[in-house]
Amino acid sequence: MARARIYTKTGDTGKTRLWDGTQVSKNDPHIETNGTLDEVNAALGLAKSLAPACMADELNGLQDRMMLLMAYVARGGKERAAPDPAELEAWIDAISGDYPMEGRFVNPGESPAGGALHIARAAARRAERASLPLLDSGELEPMAYSYINRLSDLLFALAHKADIETGVERVTAEVLASPALRAAASQGELSLALAEAIIAEAKKKAAELGRAAVIAVCDASGELIALGRMDGALPVSLSQAQKKARSSARMRRGTAEISPLTQPGAQLFGINDEPGGFSAVGGGRLLRAGESVLGAVGVSGGSAADDIAIADAAALFFNL
């Protein structure tokens, strides 16, 4: 079988073709614009390889949109509706709500992923300038030009998010690597700092699963140490996460293991009426240091399988 060659030699004279077959110079605004958008997409690929895991789906989605935008520009607006900037505006607003910005001047480089996203942002600004002749000639719809303009704003917001999330990962790693905190944990002490690190890890897993969860961490007696609530989590999850953590800690086993024991005729039937609330629904996991139980984590926000997966990730992360 003959293998396809990467090079075609068709552009050796400085000419290329648009989607409809029209031959144009390589400095045609369509080609300049798409070449610059290609740079944006390449920088996004670098950012994706460096970004916290919780941003992978988000950056994949943006790369898909970049391919659609480039197809629109290559068609010259033919056979394809202009992309709607309102979609990017809603995305920007959501990020700004979760990761408020201070309004200060930002010098890129607070994180590797953030730096790569700022490279993509600068290229997006250049794409905006390159596409201006297409707007002036009517070959680019105003809505599409606004979309390219919003693209750089979105990349700025994503860079800010990447800086913060990278910082959270770094602090979490430092907390768990701290000899003092590890020593305290090994002596049966679950600190607030460790509890917050466990919650951060659980949130990461929840984001990967696309779930808005509430995560509770309690001590060995079932008393709450820390509570984390993700945006969009249902109000009922606040009480359910705490019940799962408390039940797991007091019963000295995961809540999924408790469930069969609470069925009619089983030895714990009726325990759901315990004052303060009890839960035998999956999502509660013990936190151990060797054979010692230091506390438990409880998760509520998705299906039982999702809650269990998030709690398992948190418990595995603790792994003392």
Nearest to residue 152, comparing CAs of 68, 54, 36? 36
Query: Which tokens in the block code for residue 49?
Result: 């390889």
Kindly report, residue by residue over 294-316, the tens digit of the pLDDT: 899 999 998 888 999 999 888 88
Of 149 and 292, the structure prediction assigns the larger pLDDT to 149
Over 90: is that where the pLDDT of 258 sits?
no
Q: 228, 202 in Cβ contact below 8 A?
A: yes
pLDDT at 269: 46
Find tokens 């250049």 and name the residue.
126
Lowest mean pLDDT among 102-106, 117-121, 188-192, 202-206: 102-106
Confidence class for position 39, pLDDT limits 50, 70, 90: very high
Query: Which tokens in the block code for residue 295?
Result: 């506390």
pLDDT at 304: 85
Of 87 and 108, the structure prediction assigns the larger pLDDT to 87
Nearest to residue 94, comparing CAs of 200, 241, 228, 207? 207
Spatial distance between the Cα atoms of 60 and 288, rounded to a whole number of angstroms: 36
Confidence class for position 266, pLDDT limits 50, 70, 90: very low
Distances (CA, A) of 176 to 2, 54, 99, 213, 295: 55, 20, 24, 23, 16
Confidence class for position 190, pLDDT limits 50, 70, 90: confident
Q: Which amino acid is at 262?
A: T
Lowest mean pLDDT among 37-46, 56-65, 271-280, 296-305: 271-280
Average pLDDT over the chain, rounded to an integer: 82
Spatial distance between the Cα atoms of 170 and 295, rounded to a whole number of angstroms: 24
Rounded to an integer, the average pLDDT of 56-80 is 85
Going by C-beta distance under 8 Å and a sequence separation of 6 or more, which residues neighbour residue 172?
197, 200, 201
Spatial distance between the Cα atoms of 158 and 167, rounded to a whole number of angstroms: 14
Bridge partner residues of 219 (DSSP): 295
Confidence class for position 187, pLDDT limits 50, 70, 90: low
Confidence class for position 257, pLDDT limits 50, 70, 90: confident
Nearest to residue 34, comparing CAs of 158, 148, 150? 148
Over 90: is that where the pLDDT of 178 sits?
no
Going by C-beta distance under 8 Å and a sequence separation of 6 or more, which residues neighbour residue 189?
294
Kindly report, residue by residue over 155-171, the tens digit of the pLDDT: 999 999 998 888 766 65
The structure's pTM equals 0.56
Nearest to residue 250, comparing CAs of 226, 274, 282? 274
Instruction: List phi, psi (to 5°) of 217.
Output: -125, 130
Going by C-beta distance under 8 Å and a sequence separation of 6 or more, which residues neighbour residue 20?
75, 76, 78
Q: Quote the percentage of the chain above a pLDDT of 90.
A: 41
Lowest mean pLDDT among 9-13, 217-221, 261-265: 261-265
- For each of the domains in the chain, give its residue range(s) and CATH number, in order of start: 15-172 (1.20.1200.10), 190-318 (3.30.450.150)
Confidence class for position 120, pLDDT limits 50, 70, 90: very high
Q: Which amino acid is at 265?
A: G
Spatial distance between the Cα atoms of 249 and 253, rounded to a whole number of angstroms: 7
Lowest mean pLDDT among 32-36, 104-108, 111-115, 208-212: 104-108
